[in-house]
């Protein structure tokens, strides 16, 4: 295998990190969770960056760390839900590796995110109704960008292990 670089993209809560971990346990690539990468490099949590510096500053930081992380080889990188959607990030992603979009319905995302809103400043504190409206509108905007991924995988009702295997089959063809 030669200089493999795989990017997992998709909405918050679509399982990018869990699937990335499973995948790198199966094949011998390193795993990078891009949110963790940003937090380590910045020395602050994402919630703190949003709170103290605002989303706009976060997006600028995210773009500059993306430029850094795309230079690493033999790795699976699970990106933040918004990463592909700002600046020319999606173009950088697609030029530097293989991208896979983990697609999930709004209803599933709402269910999953209701349990995991903390640490996610964009949705922290929302109730089920607010969350559904927010995701519907936000996903509508983001979907055309996510759809530019080299591969799209329907992630409904599949375990992280199943998804990891499907992804590996897709990209190793």
Residue 95 neighbours by CB distance under 10 Å: 10
In this structure, is the dihedral angle defined by the CA atoms of residues 70, 36, 56 and 102, taken in order, positive or negative?
positive
Nearer to ligand S3P, 84 or 97 (CB): 84
| Minimal distance, residue 52 CB to ligand S3P, in Å | 14
| Minimal distance, residue 77 CB to ligand S3P, in Å | 11
Nearer to ligand S3P, 82 or 97 (CB): 82
Torsion region of 122: left, alpha or beta (phi above 0 gives left; psi -120 to 50 gives alpha): alpha
Element (H, E) at 77: strand 75-78
| Minimal distance, residue 154 CB to ligand S3P, in Å | 18
Q: What are phi and psi of 30, to 5 degrees?
A: -80, 160
Residues 6+ apart with CB under 8 A from 93: 7, 9, 66, 70, 79, 83, 84, 99
Nearer to ligand S3P, 130 or 172 (CB): 130
Nearer to ligand S3P, 80 or 97 (CB): 80
| Minimal distance, residue 75 CB to ligand S3P, in Å | 16
| Minimal distance, residue 2 CB to ligand S3P, in Å | 28
- Would you tell me which residues interact with ligand S3P (CB under 6 A)? 12, 35, 46, 80-82, 120-122
Q: Is-contact 76 30, C-beta < 8 A?
A: yes
């Amino acid at each position: 295998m030669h200089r493999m670089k795989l990017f997992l993209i998709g909405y918050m809560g679509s399982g990018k990190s869990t699937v990335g971990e499973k995948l790198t346990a199966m094949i011998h690539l390193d795993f990078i969770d891009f949110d963790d990468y940003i937090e380590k490099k910045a020395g602050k949590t994402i919630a703190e960056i949003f709170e103290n510096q605002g989303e706009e500053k976060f997006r600028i930081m995210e773009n500059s760390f993306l430029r850094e992380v795309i230079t690493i080889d033999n790795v699976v990188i699970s990106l933040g839900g918004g990463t592909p959607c700002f600046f020319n990030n999606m173009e950088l992603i697609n030029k530097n590796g293989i991208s896979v979009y983990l697609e999930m319905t709004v209803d599933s995302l709402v269910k999953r995110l209701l349990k995991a809103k903390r640490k996610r400043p964009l949705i922290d504190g929302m109730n089920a109704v607010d969350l559904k409206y927010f995701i519907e509108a936000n996903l509508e905007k983001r979907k055309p960008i996510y759809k530019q991924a080299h591969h799209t995988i329907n992630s409904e009702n599949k375990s992280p292990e199943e998804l990891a295997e499907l992804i590996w089959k897709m990209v190793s063809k």
